[in-house]
Amino acid sequence: MAALGHSPDFIPMTTIGDVFAAVAGKRTDLGIVPLENSLQGTVGQSLDHFQHYDVSIQAEITCRVSHALLSTADAIAAIDTVYSHPQPLAQCAAWLKAHLPQARIIPTDSTAAAAARLAGEPTAASIGHMRLAAMHNLHILASPIEDLPDNWTRFFIIGAEDTKQQTRDKTSILFTVPNRPGSLQKVLSHLAGEGINMTKLEIAAHPWREMAVRVFRGPPNATCRARNTSSF
């Protein structure tokens, strides 16, 4: 967490989009957004927001994720509704089926938003980090509740300005190509011809185009010098 400085002030946001907007609007210096989870894969919301906000990736961190069931109620037996972001809901699906099979499962924009909804709902619970209990005066009814213990999430630290660090060894590029045969293959062939080592490829299909995110080994200036993207 060195990229965040020695004593940062943390400001909770309701949605991933709110984090991007705060950073792009320079209301905060940095933001932390999830990119992918070891169990559920890519967090598509984060990739989508990179298209709409002018931010730069400062660093990446990987954290083990553990979930708890939180509520104003005193017992699991009182719960008939569970709120959370779709990712934690999926990561705890088997636990929910075993312990709360009749509960309504309602997705929210974030785990923070889910916890905030519990005020005035005595038969509702949320899934999120146990620290949310202290923030919202909630009881921890069960923890950990994730289905698999080896649950990790990779986060990006984003900022409004490009990082000044000289030790980075990854570059990410987001771009779109026409939704027609051979468009992506043309890009991949161009990169291979320039000797660029691609380590990850993500594709989000849209009705009229495809969005691709790629991660390369090498500092950003080296990749940018590696050539002219107009030929893509």
Active-site positions read 153, 155
Reported as type and span, the H/E element at residue 139 is strand 139-142
For the beta carbon of residue 113, count every other beta carbon within 10 angstroms: 19
Given a contact cutoff of 8 angstroms between Cβ atoms, the answer to whether 142 and 69 are in contact is yes
Residues in the chain: 232
Tokens of 146: 């994730």
Q: Are 159 and 55 spatial neighbours (Cβ–Cβ below 8 Å)? A: yes
CB-based contacts of 168, cutoff 8 Å, min separation 6: 219, 220
Q: First-to-last CA distance in the chain?
A: 36
For residue 9, the 8-state DSSP code is: P
The identity of residue 229, as a single letter, is: T
- The span from the CA of 71 to the CA of 68, in Å, is 10
Q: Are strands 152-159 and 30-37 parallel, antiparallel or unpaired?
A: antiparallel
**Distance separating alpha carbons of residues 206 and 189, to the nearest angstrom:** 22
